[in-house]
């Protein structure tokens, strides 16, 4: 089940975000850099502000009524990059380690793609760590292609994320001239 996250869920979101971030990147980031990231990007105040932003949405994916993953999507000024005009960003997508391989990541990713397709945006895009080959192959299956890269900074740790995009312009948008 996929449900929209509200401000009352910020503590649950934070715990899940910290757990999945450590599982995904903990081997390559120093502990003090992780703690800096948790105290800033994943702080209660920052997550609450993101949840209050009308251009961002978070969604939990649940298994047996327990949140086991989440996705964050952004439009307009909430996007982390402004390189693509009229775009929809899938910013964060994480699944707990014990629930990976069950198709939940695919399910919530396709949910996010459906949100993008229902928008009036021309592009859907995301960033992926340059060394996350499994995720890169997954996104390639959906037609995403690299269009750039940026630095992702966690404390003193500087990684490179590839920026991947896919066009989503629909025929009716072209006719109406609507924008994201």
- If residue 52 lies in a helix (H) or strand (E), which one and from where to where? helix 44-52
* Whether residue 176 has pLDDT greater than 80: no
Expressed as residue numbers, the domain containing 114 is: 2-176
* Whether residue 144 has pLDDT greater than 90: yes
pLDDT (tens digit, 9 = 90+) per residue, 98-127?
Answer: 999 999 999 999 999 999 999 989 999 999
Please enumerate in sequence order all residues whose Cβ is within 8 A of that of 51, keeping only pairs 6 or more positions apart, or say none: 5, 6, 7, 9, 10, 13, 58
- The pTM of the full predicted model, rounded to 2 decimals, is 0.89
Domain count, the chain: 1
Let me know if 24 is exposed, middle or buried by CB neighbors in 10 A (0-12, 13-18, 19+).
middle
* Whether residue 59 has pLDDT greater than 70: yes
Q: In what order do the strands lie in the sheet with 145-154?
A: 2-4, 56-63, 66-75, 87-95, 123-129, 157-167, 145-154
Q: Token match 């964060």: residue?
A: 92
Q: Worst-scoring range by mean pLDDT, 63-67, 74-78, 83-87, 141-145?
A: 83-87
* Whether residue 178 has pLDDT greater than 90: no
Q: Which percentage of the chain shows pLDDT scores above 70?
A: 93
CATH value at residue 40: 3.40.630.30
| 157/50 Cα distance (integer angstroms) | 24
| 38/32 Cα distance (integer angstroms) | 10
């Amino acid at each position: 089940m996929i449900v929209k996250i509200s401000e009352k869920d910020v503590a649950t979101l934070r715990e899940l975000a910290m757990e999945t971030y450590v599982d995904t990147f903990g081997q390559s980031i120093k502990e003090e850099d992780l703690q800096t990231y948790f105290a800033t990007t994943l702080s209660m105040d920052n997550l609450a502000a993101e949840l209050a932003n009308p251009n961002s949405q978070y969604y939990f994916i649940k298994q047996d009524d327990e949140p086991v993953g989440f996705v964050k999507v952004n439009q307009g000024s909430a996007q982390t990059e402004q390189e693509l005009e009229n775009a929809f960003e899938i910013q964060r997508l994480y699944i707990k380690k014990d629930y990976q391989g069950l198709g939940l990541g695919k399910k919530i990713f396709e949910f996010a793609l459906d949100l993008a397709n229902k928008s009036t945006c021309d592009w859907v895009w995301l960033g992926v760590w340059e060394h996350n080959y499994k995720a890169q192959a997954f996104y390639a299956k959906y037609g995403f292609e690299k269009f750039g890269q940026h630095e992702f900074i966690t404390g003193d740790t500087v990684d490179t994320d590839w920026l991947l995009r896919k066009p989503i312009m629909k025929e009716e948008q072209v006719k109406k001239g609507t924008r994201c």
